[in-house]
């Protein structure tokens, strides 16, 4: 397109020059010839310039075409790369959306479970069952099956949540779950001094009541250990009790009731498991000692029998030696007897009859 426009401009210039030359010819003959010659020269120069310009334009057009082709290739390559990256980004986005969708479902399920847990904790009986279930799970995970009993009835008719079987001393230890949640919530939600005072009093009354019940019901002389455990299935309640009510903890200790949380109960059960293992090892050590004593007795009897057998062998060896001596004597006697017979035969000549 650029080359064709330049050609049109050049032709227009040539036409203008021809027109000027024709006008000059009309006005004068000699001058017209001179003008005609100059126009011819200009036309030739113009034709040469036109050729060069056409070549340059063609070269520029080829370069421009090549440049446009390369630019198109680069743009296509970039578009392909961007398309690939966009596809990957869309794939990653879909995966993340799937993860977010799964997380949202988990959050919905968790919120449903939290609501259910709140409903459970709102009911006193259900809350007690929740504490008992948590207690059972901890005990089952930490102790062997023969080391505990759940819902065991004591000789006084009271039923304890868990009875840990330990040998005397100290004896079986009673473990009961208590969850004073209402008084704890009131204590945490109190907004003024009066509410805090009332909530602290209610919390103290609840804890003292639980401690007294455990001390009276589950500590039996000659039946259980001289102490019992109160399990609080909430670390928050346990921390509140030990952090702000140390007098309640001291009162429980005076009544020989130890208050434990899930974490402290786990450490305590580890200690109980170690004690039970030591008891089993001592029992096995006693059995091993008895077996070793029996083995030593058998070794002593075996030694006595070997000595007796050796004595018998000694007697038998002596008898064999005496037999050998007697046999040698008999042999020598037989040799002497045979020698004596030969000598008698030599000393007594044979009788030769004389002539008749």
52-109 per-position pLDDT tens digit: 777 887 888 888 888 888 888 888 888 888 888 888 888 888 888 888 878 777 776 6
| Mean pLDDT on 234-260 | 88
Average pLDDT over the chain, rounded to an integer: 77
| Residue 76 confidence (pLDDT) | 81
Q: Which residues contact 136 (CB under 8 A, 6 or more apart)?
A: 150, 162
User: 């057009």: which residue's tokens?
Assistant: 61
Give the DSSP H or E segment for 278: helix 262-347
Angle (nearest 5°) at CA 111 between 107 and 112: 120
CATH code (residue 123): 3.40.1350
Residue 176 domain-assigned?
A: yes
Tell me: pLDDT of 288 over 70.
Answer: yes
At residue 110, the pLDDT reads: 65
Q: Map tokens 């037989």 to a residue.
A: 334
Residue 28: per-residue pLDDT: 52
* Domain assignment of residue 314, yes or no: no
In a domain, 137, yes or no: yes
- Is 55 contained in some domain? no
Would the pTM count as exceeding 0.85? no
Instruction: Judge contact between 171 and 220, C-beta under 8 A.
Output: no
Q: Which domain holds residue 228?
A: 116-279
Q: Give me the number of domains the chain comprises.
A: 1
- Whether 33 maps to a domain, the answer reads no
User: Could you read off the pLDDT of 113-123 as tens digits, one per residue?
Assistant: 544 444 444 45
In a domain, 138, yes or no: yes
224: in domain: yes
Measured between alpha carbons, how far is 31 from 122 in angstroms, rounded to an integer?
125
**What percent of the chain is predicted at pLDDT more than 90?**
2
**Do the domain assignments include residue 345?**
no
Q: Is the predicted pLDDT of residue 352 greater than 50, yes or no? A: no
What's the CA angle centered on 82, arms 78 and 87, to 5 degrees?
150
């Amino acid at each position: 397109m650029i080359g064709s426009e330049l050609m049109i401009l050049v032709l227009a210039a040539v036409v203008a020059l021809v027109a000027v030359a024709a006008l000059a010819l009309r006005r004068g003959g000699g001058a017209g010839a001179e003008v005609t010659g100059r126009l011819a020269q200009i036309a030739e120069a113009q034709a040469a310039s036109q050729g060069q310009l056409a070549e340059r334009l063609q070269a520029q057009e080829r370069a421009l075409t090549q440049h446009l082709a390369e630019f198109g290739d680069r743009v296509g390559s970039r578009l392909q790369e961007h398309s690939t990256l966009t596809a990957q980004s869309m794939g990653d986005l879909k995966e993340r959306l799937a993860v977010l969708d799964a997380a949202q479902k988990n959050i919905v399920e968790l919120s449903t479970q939290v609501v259910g847990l709140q409903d459970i904790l709102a009911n006193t009986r259900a809350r007690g069952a929740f504490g008992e279930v948590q207690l059972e799970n901890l005990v089952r995970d930490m102790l062997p099956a023969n080391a505990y009993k759940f819902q065991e009835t004591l000789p006084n008719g009271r039923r304890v949540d868990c009875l840990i079987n330990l040998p005397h001393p100290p004896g079986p230890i009673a473990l009961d779950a208590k969850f004073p949640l209402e008084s704890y919530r009131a204590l945490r939600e109190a907004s003024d001094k009066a509410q805090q005072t009332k909530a602290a009093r209610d919390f103290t009354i609840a804890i003292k009541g639980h401690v007294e019940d455990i001390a009276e019901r589950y500590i039996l002389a000659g039946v259980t250990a001289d102490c019992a455990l109160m399990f609080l299935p909430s670390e928050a309640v346990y921390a509140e009790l030990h952090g702000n009510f140390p007098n309640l903890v001291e009162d429980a200790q005076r009544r020989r009731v130890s208050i434990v949380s899930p974490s402290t109960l786990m450490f305590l059960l580890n200690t109980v498991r170690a004690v039970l293992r030591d008891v089993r090892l001592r029992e096995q050590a006693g059995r091993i000692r008895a077996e070793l004593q029996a083995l030593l007795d058998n070794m002593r009897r075996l030694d006595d029998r070997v000595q007796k057998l050796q004595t018998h062998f000694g007697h038998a060896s002596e008898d064999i030696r005496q037999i050998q001596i007697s046999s040698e004597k008999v042999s020598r006697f037989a040799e002497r007897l045979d020698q004596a017979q030969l000598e008698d035969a030599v000393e007594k000549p044979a009788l030769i009859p004389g002539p008749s």
